[in-house]
């Protein structure tokens, strides 16, 4: 996955994202916030899936832990956003460390099943622990962070709170994605790809596979937690279904839809899936059916995801242009 992009897609995307409140209605800002947060969630999963070759069926656990952490801190304890959000990442990382320790000792299907089991345990706790998590009802009415200072900014001053929050989200997500990009382009990232390609061989070049996998697991969990913290506020409430296996499968599909072989694949997948979901659920209640069909088409026709297909197409165009 060497970076041969001539266009700085990342920068372009951020600029475009920042412009949304100015050009679009409230609805678009809403959708864009959702996309940005889930793009981070999906990219964090891809650190495990696309780069290390680990299939996690329970990534929503860390998303949920992050959401509940931020929600709890801000709603019950009036902790400021600047502390509550990193706390989400930290606590999610702790959970990932504990769960990951056991998970990385297993391979393939057993690894996947244990990640699922742990995630469902977290879900059951969130569902039942009424005192802390609000149980089945969850935690509604999470406050927005104090964004009054944004009204003093020249171009953003006149926007609504939700738009202010959106801009904050874009900045945080962009920063997080930049860090993730650095991580995958580091020596650590290179070693992760060797684990994905051939874990046995990686051992024999001196790689402590389990330790690397655990570090990747914790990092992925931390960023998922960050995404969860952002999402809880966006959603104005945190609920147990943030942790449910359906959420884990959703983010997994997003990642593969966009393309797990490219860094920006999952982000693209998040965008496409959310837009599709939004469009299709307005016509029919049978979204799962549509999703299932899309998934099958994806698996058989575009295994590299959208970005993968685009990359192949671009290569063909380049080749025929040269010919």
Partner 1 sequence: MLDVREVRKAFDGFAAVGGVSLRVDRGQIAAIIGPNGAGKTTLFNLITGHVRPDAGRVVLNGRDVTGLSPHDVCRLGMGRSFQRTNIFPRLTVFDNVQAALIAHRRRGFDLLGRVGALYRDDTLAILQSIGLAEKAGDVSGVLSHGNQKQLELGIVLASEPDLLLLDEPTAGMSATETRETIQLIARLTRERGLTLLFTEHDMEVVFSIAQRITVLHQGRVIAEGAPAEVRSDPEVRRVYLGERR
Partner 2 sequence: MPDLSFLFGQALSGLTAAMFLFLIASGLSLIFGVLRVLNFAHGSFYMLGAYIAYQFVRWFATTPGRFWIATVAAALGVALLGAVVERVLLRHLYGREELYQLLFTYALVLILSDAAKVIWGTGQLSVSRPPALEGAVRIFGTKVPYYNLFILLLGPAIALVFWLVLHRTRAGRFIRAAALDREMLGALGVNVSLLYTGVFMLGSFLAGLGGALVTPVKTIVPGMDVEIIVEAFIVVVIGGLGSFWGTFLGALIYGQVLSFGILVFPRFSIFSVFALMAVVLILRPWGLLGRPLQT
The footprint of partner 2 (CB under 8 A) covers: 49, 55, 102, 105-110, 112-114, 117-118, 120-121, 123-125, 127-128, 200, 249, 252-253, 256, 286, 288-289, 291-293, 295-296, 299-300, 303
Q: What distance lies between CA 260 and its chain's CA centroid?
A: 12
Task: Check residue 209 for interaction with partner 1 (CB under 8 A).
Answer: yes
Residues between 210 and 239 that touch partner 1 (CB under 8 A): 212, 215
List of long-range contacts for 11-18, beta carbons under 8 Å, 24+ apart: 13/264, 13/267, 14/170, 14/174, 17/170, 17/174, 18/167, 18/170
Q: Which stretch binds partner 1 (CB under 8 A): 6-14, 66-74, 110-118, 208-216?
A: 208-216
Burial grade of 125 (CB within 10 A; 0-12, 13-18, 19 or more): middle
Burial grade of 117 (CB within 10 A; 0-12, 13-18, 19 or more): middle
Closest CB to partner 1 among residues 96, 191: 191
Q: How far is the CB of 191 from partner 2 (least distance, A)?
A: 19
Burial grade of 210 (CB within 10 A; 0-12, 13-18, 19 or more): middle
Count of residues that bind partner 1 according to CB under 8 A: 26
Closest CB to partner 1 among residues 144, 302: 302
Task: Check residue 182 for interaction with partner 1 (CB under 8 A).
Answer: yes
Is-contact 258 49, C-beta < 8 A?
A: no
Q: How far is the CB of 158 from partner 2 (least distance, A)?
A: 43
Task: Check residue 105 for interaction with partner 1 (CB under 8 A).
Answer: no
Q: Identify what 256 binds: partner 1, partner 2, none; CB under 5 to 8 Å per kind.
A: partner 2
């Amino acid at each position: 996955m060497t970076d041969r992009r001539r266009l700085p897609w990342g920068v372009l995307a951020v600029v475009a994202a920042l412009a949304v409140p100015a050009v679009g209605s409230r609805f678009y800002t809403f959708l864009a916030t959702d996309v940005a947060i889930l793009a981070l969630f999906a990219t964090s999963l891809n650190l495990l899936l696309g780069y290390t070759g680990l299939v996690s069926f329970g990534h929503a656990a860390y998303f949920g832990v992050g959401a509940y952490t931020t929600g709890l801190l801000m709603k019950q304890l009036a902790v400021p956003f600047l502390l509550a959000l990193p706390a989400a990442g930290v606590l999610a990382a702790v959970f990932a460390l504990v769960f990951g320790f056991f998970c990385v000792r297993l391979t393939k299907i057993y690894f996947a099943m244990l990640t699922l089991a742990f995630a469902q345990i977290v879900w059951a706790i969130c569902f039942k622990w009424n005192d802390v998590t609000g149980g089945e009802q969850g935690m509604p009415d999470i406050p927005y962070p104090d964004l009054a200072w944004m009204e003093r900014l020249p171009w953003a001053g006149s926007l609504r709170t939700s738009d202010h929050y959106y801009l904050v989200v874009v900045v945080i997500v962009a920063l997080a994605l930049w860090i993730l990009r650095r991580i995958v382009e580091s020596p650590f990232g290179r070693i992760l790809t060797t684990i994905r390609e051939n874990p046995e061989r990686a051992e024999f070049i001196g790689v402590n596979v389990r330790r690397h996998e655990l570090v990747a697991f914790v990092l992925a969990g931390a960023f998922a937690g960050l995404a969860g913290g952002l999402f809880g506020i966006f959603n104005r409430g945190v609920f147990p279904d943030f942790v449910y296996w359906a959420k884990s499968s959703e983010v997994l599909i997003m990642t593969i839809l966009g393309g797990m072989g490219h860094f920006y694949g999952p982000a693209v997948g998040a965008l496409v899936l959310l837009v599709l979901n939004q469009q299709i659920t307005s016509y029919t209640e049978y979204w799962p059916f549509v999703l299932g069909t899309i998934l099958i088409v994806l698996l058989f026709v575009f295994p590299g995801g959208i970005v993968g297909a685009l990359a192949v197409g671009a290569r063909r165009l380049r080749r025929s242009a040269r010919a």
